Amino acid sequence: MLHRARPRASVLPHARDDAGTASVETLLLTVSGLTFGAVLCFLAIRGKAKFDAFVAGRPAPPFLPEVTIPWGTIGIAAGAIACGAMITVFVLASRAVSRECQAERCSRAVLEARHARVLEDLGAHIVEDPAGRRSLGELELLEALTEAQDARIGDDDHYYRAAVRTLEAQWKATAADRTPAHTA
C-alpha cells in the first residue's frame, strides 16, 4: 500500500500536528476571529439602523432588543462549563505528570538493576576465587564502586547513570584482565 504525503495548508503551515488534528492555538485563533467578526457585524448593523433613524428624523432604536434574557441561568451554565474545563485541564495535567514520574521511576529501577548486577558479579567472583581478591583491589574499580554507591543515594539520575556506566566499564576491564594466567 502506497502512502501519500498529506498536503499542508498554505495559509497556516503549522495548523495541524503529527496526528492530523488541529492545534489548540489554531482553534483559539479561529474562535476569537469568528467572535470578533460577529461583534463587528452586529455593531455595523446597529450603527446603520441608528444612522437611518437619524436621517429620517425619528428616534433611534434601542441598542439591544428588549428581550427578557435569563442571565442567572446563563451565568450558572457558563460557570458550570468553566468548572468542567478547569477540571478537565487539571485531570489531563495530573495524568501527564503521573506518566512522567512513572517513567522516571522505571528509569531509576533499571539503573539500580544494572548496579546490582555488577555488585552480584563482583560478589560471585570473590566467593568463587578468594585468592583473586587482590586483582579486585584496583583503585579505579574501588573508586567506581564508591562513586556509584554515593550516586545511588543521591537524587541526580544523570550522575547515577554516569556512575553506573563507569562502574560497568571498570568491572569489564577488571574482568578482562583476569585471565587464567593472572589468577593462577
Distance of CA 18 to the CA centre of its chain: 16
- Structure confidence at residue 132 (pLDDT): 57
> What span, in angstroms and rounded, lies between the C-alpha atoms of 83 and 91?
12
The count of residues in the chain is 184
Which whole number is the average pLDDT over 23-35? Answer: 75
Which whole number is the average pLDDT over 134-144? Answer: 69
* Burial of 20 from C-beta contacts in 10 A (0-12 / 13-18 / 19+): exposed
pTM tops 0.75: no
- Structure confidence at residue 65 (pLDDT): 67
Q: Which of 44-48, 65-69, 98-102, 161-165 has the lowest mean pLDDT?
A: 65-69
Residue 107 reports pLDDT greater than 50: yes
> What span, in angstroms and rounded, lies between the C-alpha atoms of 9 and 3?
18
Q: Average pLDDT over the chain, rounded to whole?
A: 76
Q: How far apart are the first and last CA of the chain?
A: 64
Question: In this prediction, what percent of the chain has a pLDDT beyond 70?
Answer: 73
- Structure confidence at residue 42 (pLDDT): 84
Which whole number is the average pLDDT over 99-123? Answer: 85
Q: Which of 26-30, 70-74, 105-109, 152-156 has the lowest mean pLDDT?
A: 26-30
- Structure confidence at residue 81 (pLDDT): 92
Which whole number is the average pLDDT over 172-183? Answer: 61
Which whole number is the average pLDDT over 103-127? Answer: 84
- Structure confidence at residue 133 (pLDDT): 55
